[in-house]
Amino acid sequence: MTHEKLETAKLGELAFRGATAAAASSILALAAVYAVQMTTNSWESIVRFGWDFVTGTAWDPVSDVYGALPFIWGTVVSSLVALVLAVPLSIGLAAYLSEVAPVRIRRIVEFFVELLAAIPSVVYGLWGIFVLVPFVREHVQPFLQNTLGFLPLFQGPPFGYGMLTAGILLAIMILPIITSLTREALHAVPIAQREASLALGSTRWETIRHAVLPYNKSGIIAAIVLGLGRALGETMAVTMVIGNVPLISPSLFMPGQTVASLLANEFAEVSGGLYLSALTELGLLLFGVTFILNVVTRLFVPLVSRKVGGAAEGRRQLT
């Protein structure tokens, strides 16, 4: 090989490597763009309202006063309802898949859980409006009122639309991600732990409960937190069933509004000024919280060594 050819080869390598590195940098840049764009565009509102923005309860574009507490309330409450419903179910499902199910049934159920994850948010919302809302109004809410009606949580007229329905719908939507991440967490529990337990004369449930689940607690917590991140930011389905009334009420039967649903409702109608800035600040809040949740869990809980697995891996990420 002549000297020149060698140079060209080197140049080619350099160019290719540079191109891939540039593409990789774009992900870095993307993160920076998120942070910078959100901050600069909400700066006006941040300066103007300070902490009042998150503690204020009035949201009035006409007089340019913006307090986001009702939306934060709605976001937190609907997500908590979702977690309360989804966490036991997801962990149970993951435990079933990993510890109980025969291979064939496991494959089938996993396939169904993947399908659940692939359904678009807007389809969940549509189903929510026409199936879940009437069902909650006619069956769930009267039932809760009759049995647990003494709790403030379950008082008020059964609208159907509201926090409870949003929470149920969110629970269904975050079930696949919590399930699949929990499943991976359980996958990381050494067989030796299960065998140690069984060999001591434990039943299968005792092995699951006392040897398998506790072994990778942090992995399961990470799964829950990432599920929470999903719930907090979920937009369309919630917007369609929560009622979109900025209320702070102890009752889950009452309508509410979340940060994301407010954005979905109002952002397209804004042209600029303080209103836009305030809406962007809501987005920044959402971004900040989900970013931190993701960073913290992923930093402290390495989510199961990412083994090579191409398509299987893609499947994991989609859920």
Partner 1 sequence: MNAATDRYMRLYRRRKLKDQMMTALLRLCVVLALIPLVSILSYVTWRGIGAVNLDFLMKTPAPVGASGGGMANSIVGSGIVVGLAALMGIPVGVLAGIYLAEYGRNNLFGKVVRFLADVLQGIPSIVVGIVAFTLVVLPMQTFSAFAGAVALSMMLVPFVARTAEEAILTVSDDIREAAMALGQPRWRVILSVILHAARGALVTGAMLGIARLAGETAPLLFTALNNRFWHQGLLAPISTLTVQVYTYAIAPFDDWNAQAWAGAFVLLTLILLTNVVARTLARSKYGERS
Partner 2 sequence: MNLFEQRRVNENGRAGSVAVGSRAMTLGSAAVAPAPAADIAEVSSSMRAASGASAGAAARAQTSTAPIIAAENLRTYYGHNEVLKGVSLKLPQRSLTALIGPSGCGKTTFLRTLNRMNDHIPGFRVEGKVLVDGRDIYAPDVDPVLLRRRVGMVFQRPNPFPLSILANVTWGLRGHGLSRKEQRERAEESLMKAGLWDEVKDRLKEPALRLSGGQQQRLCIARALAVRPDILLMDEPTSALDPRASTKIEELMLELKKEYTVVLVSHNMHQARRVSDQCAFFLHGEVVEYGPTEQVFENPQDERTSAYVSGRLG
Q: Contacts with partner 2 in 92-111 (CB under 8 A)?
A: 102-103
Q: What is the DSSP string of 157-171?
A: ---SSSHHHHHHHHH
Contact call for residue 202 and partner 2 (CB under 8 A)? yes
* Amino acid at the residue 123: V
Contact call for residue 193 and partner 2 (CB under 8 A)? yes
Contact call for residue 218 and partner 2 (CB under 8 A)? no
Structure tokens of 213?
């689940």
Identify what 190 binds: partner 1, partner 2, none; CB under 5 to 8 Å per kind.
partner 2
| Smaller CB separation from partner 2, 108 or 123 | 108
| Spatial distance between the Cα atoms of 206 and 204, rounded to a whole number of angstroms | 5
Query: Of the candidates 7, 25, 195, 217, which one interacts with partner 1 according to CB under 8 A?
Result: 25
Residue 294's alpha-carbon distances to 171, 253, 288, in angstroms, are: 19, 31, 10
Query: Of the candidates 8, 203, 296, 302, which one interacts with partner 2 according to CB under 8 A?
Result: 203
Identify what 229 binds: partner 2, partner 1, none; CB under 5 to 8 Å per kind.
partner 1
Q: How many CB atoms lie within 10 A of CB 180?
A: 24
Strands (E), the chain: 59-60, 65-66
Contact call for residue 20 and partner 2 (CB under 8 A)? no
**Which residue shows structure tokens 């092995």?**
207
| Smaller CB separation from partner 2, 189 or 263 | 189
Residue 92 contacts residue 177 (beta carbons within 8 Å)? no
Query: Of the candidates 23, 28, 47, 199, which one interacts with partner 2 according to CB under 8 A?
Result: 199
Query: Of the candidates 113, 133, 252, 278, which one interacts with partner 1 according to CB under 8 A?
Result: 113
Binders of partner 1 among 251-290, rule CB under 8 A? 260, 263-264, 267-268, 272, 279-280, 283, 286-287, 290
Q: Which distant-in-sequence residues (6+ apart) come within 8 Å of 128 by Cβ?
A: 165, 169, 237, 240, 241
Contact call for residue 188 and partner 1 (CB under 8 A)? no
Residue 241 contacts residue 132 (beta carbons within 8 Å)? yes
Supply the minimum distance, in Å, between the C-beta of residue 152 and partner 1: 27
Contact call for residue 201 and partner 2 (CB under 8 A)? yes
Identify what 127 binds: partner 1, partner 2, none; CB under 5 to 8 Å per kind.
partner 1
Greatest Cα-to-Cα distance within the chain, rounded to the nearest angstrom = 89
DSSP 200: T
| Smaller CB separation from partner 1, 150 or 299 | 299
Supply the minimum distance, in Å, between the C-beta of residue 90 and partner 1: 8
Query: Of the candidates 161, 215, 253, 275, which one interacts with partner 2 according to CB under 8 A?
Result: 215
Q: Which distant-in-sequence residues (6+ apart) come within 8 Å of 63 by Cβ?
A: none
First to last CA, the chain: 50
Contact call for residue 200 and partner 2 (CB under 8 A)? yes
Query: Of the candidates 2, 3, 4, 27, which one interacts with partner 1 according to CB under 8 A?
Result: 27
Residue 142 contacts residue 164 (beta carbons within 8 Å)? no
Identify what 57 binds: partner 1, partner 2, none; CB under 5 to 8 Å per kind.
none
Structure tokens of 310?
């191409």
Residue 63 class from Cβ within 10 Å (0-12 exposed, 13-18 middle, 19+ buried)? exposed
Query: Of the candidates 60, 64, 138, 313, which one interacts with partner 1 according to CB under 8 A?
Result: 313
Query: Of the candidates 219, 233, 243, 246, which one interacts with partner 1 according to CB under 8 A?
Result: 233
- Per CB under 8 A, residues contacting partner 2 are 102-103, 190, 192-203, 206, 210-211, 214-215
